[in-house]
Amino acid sequence: MPRFDSPRLLADIGGTYARFALETGPGEFTQMASLRCADHADFHAAVRAYLAGLSWQDGAPQQIAHAAIAIANPVEGDRVRMTNYHWQFSIDEMRQRLGLDTLVVVNDFTALAMALPRLAEVDVRQVGGGQARRPSVIGLLGAGTGLGVSGLIPAGEGWIALGTEGGHVNFGPRDQREMDILKFAWKTLDPAFGHVSYERLISGPGLELIYRALADRNGVADAPALLAPAITQKALDDHDALCLETLEVFCGLLGTAAANLAVTLGSLGGIYIGGGIVPRLGEYFDRSPFRERFEDKGRFREYVSAIPTFVITAEHATFKGASAILENQLRNLQASPGSAILGQIRRARSELSPAELRVADLVLAQPRSVLNDPIAEIARAAGVSQPTVIRFCRSLGCEGLSDFKLRLASGLTGTVPVTHTQVNTNDSMLELGAKVLGNTASAILQVRSHLNRDTIDRATEMLLAAGRIEFFALGHYSVVAQDAQFKFLRFGMPCGAYTDPRLQLLAADVLREGDVAVVISSGGRLPELLNVVERAQERGAKVVAITASQSPLAKKADVTLIVDHVEDIETHLPMVSRILHLLVIDILAVGVAMRRNPESIAALGDGAEEDVSKPTRGASTAAPGVSMASPLARLTSHSR
């Protein structure tokens, strides 16, 4: 079996224990250890303690470049705060402190979910009947310090894991006993919340709460205070009546929660039970009320009865899932065109000037900070001038800082992030230029990800079949309508552009069936343009809107091309949004040109900067910067 270039660090962090392992090759886990979280001040101290206790074959520690952490709480952004423990940390800061190239942090049940397709038959035990359908959605939940909930959705050759907090849904009692337990929880837990979730009962602390609630309900005044492991031990080994009833209630509640998950996700691929409690119950769980309560779903009994339920018995299932996520991340980075940027910087160190070398060291040490910081902050942190930062970027083949950040972002995450950086009054001209270009590039990528082929096709077909096309816009977006008129007139298509509200209503009143009104609006809420839409549709014309999603205009139009964006309100001028609307017009123009006959394409005039006083047909000069290689090239240059 192939081995990795360096061992990979894997961790499974819960509210009580932090489990660690090294993976030396695919599925080869060694030097596993379990440390109590309470024995260490923070996550970094726990990792250092584990690493300090490792034994190496040749005596010299090996460099660990990549790590994956599965942790029992939501993971959103860079800051991680544990729900059931006080540890918190920055992912990027932790990566730097540990000297790692890659640190992936995921929810522990997301990691466990990704392990399910990799489990063998000996790694699970079926409880009850049912037959899994393949491929179908799979559900996962498990009790430990909390109640984890996740799922897997089949996607092509792989799976998409759901990161959820389904354990925090409201607990619903099934009978009077469970109602009494709920009332006890209301009295016992923090009354400020007034919320009892399933996690409050289906967990280690939940076992203890159920035990105390049943003791109160049964009038057992001298019931000893027991922790969850002791409750389980006294039930299974000593057959203590109160502890047995506690386990009975616990397993019944888990059955209801599992059934709820099954019908919510449509988990025809099965429901899997993990966590630290159920696997330790052994055969008792198989004969517990779990499966009976799972199938007790009223009109949906037949539906859930066909869904199998499994207990995960594999010892290192979470490690397998975390390893799979890390491997996928590294594979994506290797396949990404921008993934080599950090390696390129390392190789280029000997050719950089001393000042550029300081920028390189900053990028290698704090890549995510560089990704988000303005040029002034990057220059200050590296102790160089702003032009030096630009020279460094160009030495790597980038056009400037914005281009460098896009490549860096792709190398760090496997995707280009969609971000917007606010323009500030104290920005230098260099910062201003970088922000405007960066914001525009990010917005274009975001619109590209939202493009809908069907709506573009429908809009194009409408324009091709139109007897007349009228473009409507107001204010700063008037130039977009005028640019559209310029392009479509070059096709010989009757069209006009209206940017005055009074003329717009007059133009809408003379539209007829077969005509198309193209309404261009950033927010899609202007009453003048909404009136145009209503007038046009009353006359039998079709309406194509270029606007924001969920706007009144988007809902009224026959076809809507979505342009969502973040505008820099500090400038009080539309910059990014106007460019996006112009690009959508370009898409429509090119689409129409591609579907018209070749003669109409060849007959197009030249670019935007021709002398309009001269005949356009047959002219041979091109707009500056527009390639003459294709007759479509001149369609994407904007008129003045």
Q: At 49, which amino acid appears?
A: A
Beta bridge partners of 275: 143
Handedness of CA 616, 619, 624, 625 (dihedral sign): positive
Instruction: Supply angle C-alpha 308, 314, 315, rounded to 5.
Output: 150
Count of alpha carbons within 13 Å of 156, Cβ hemisphere only?
A: 2
Euclidean distance between CA atoms 384 and 404, whole angstroms: 17
11 is in an annotated binding site: yes
179 Cβ neighbours under 8 A, 6+ residues apart: 173
Tell me if 496 is assigned to a ligand binding site.
Answer: no
Closest CA to 249 of 301, 171, 306: 171
Neighbours of 30 (CB within 10 A): 12
The annotation status of 568 as a binding-site residue, yes or no, is no
Burial class (CB in 10 A: 0-12, 13-18, 19+), 615: exposed
Q: Report yes or no: 623 and 605 within 8 Å, Cβ to Cβ.
A: no
Closest CA to 528 of 487, 566, 472, 579: 472
* Chain centre distance of CA 55: 38
Q: Which of 152, 78, 81, 80 is nearest to 112 (CA)?
A: 152
Structure tokens, 486: 């310029």
Specify the amino acid at residue 331. R
Asked whether residue 13 is marked as a ligand-binding residue, the answer is: yes
In 511-567, which residue ranges form alpha helices assigned H by DSSP? Answer: 527-538, 552-556
Handedness of CA 173, 175, 179, 180 (dihedral sign): negative
> Annotated binding residue at 14?
yes
User: What CA–CA distances, in Å, run from 255 to 272, 286, 292, 348?
Assistant: 11, 12, 7, 59
Which amino acid is present at 244? L
Nearest to 583 by CA among 442, 480, 470, 463: 480
- Residue matched to tokens 């594979």: 331
Amino acid identity at 9: L
- Rounded to 10 deg, the angle between the 176-188 and 204-218 helix axes is 110
Q: Is 231 annotated as a binding residue?
A: no
Return the H-helix or E-strand segment holding 23: strand 17-25
Can you say which residues are annotated as belonging to the binding site for ATP?
Answer: 11-16
Q: Which residues belong to the annotated binding site?
A: 11-16
